[in-house]
Amino acid sequence: MDNSQLILILKCIIPGSLTGIASLWIFCKYLTARKKRIDFSMIIILAISDLIFSLVVLVDALYPNALTPHSFYAIFFAAMYFSIFWATAMAYLVFSSLKDRDFDSKKYFSKTLSIILIISICFTLL
């Protein structure tokens, strides 16, 4: 094994595999949960986005010609931007619900998700 293969394993395959396994574990826990509360729904959306991101990284590392460069970058950046913006939105929703006991995060969940999807797509297309 030469240095380039070792670097590929350390930089892409191990982190991508661990992220994918963790995301799948969260997804399985969500499917087996009796009550699917709004907080768990926010986390599962982030886990799905991270799973997509890690799968793209793994596919590109293991099969470099499987995706065209354009499709790789489109999926890579869309998932990355969505994860960043969604985590920020989750933090804001949690902060708002802790600050104001009457704050209804369910009311803002769908709107926030729609806005984050649109922003992520716009950032990806830029």
Provide the angle, in degrees to the nearest 10, between the axes of the packed helices 69-99 and 105-125: 150
Of how many residues is the chain composed?
126
Residue 4 has pLDDT above 80, yes or no: no
* pTM for the model: 0.84
* DSSP category for residue 2: -
pLDDT in tens, 10-40: 888 888 899 999 999 999 999 998 888 888 8
Domains and CATH numbers, the chain: 3-125 (1.20.1070.10)
Q: What is the mean pLDDT of residues 67-74?
A: 91
pLDDT in tens, 95-113: 888 888 888 888 888 899 9
pLDDT band with cut points at 50, 70 and 90 for residue 80: very high
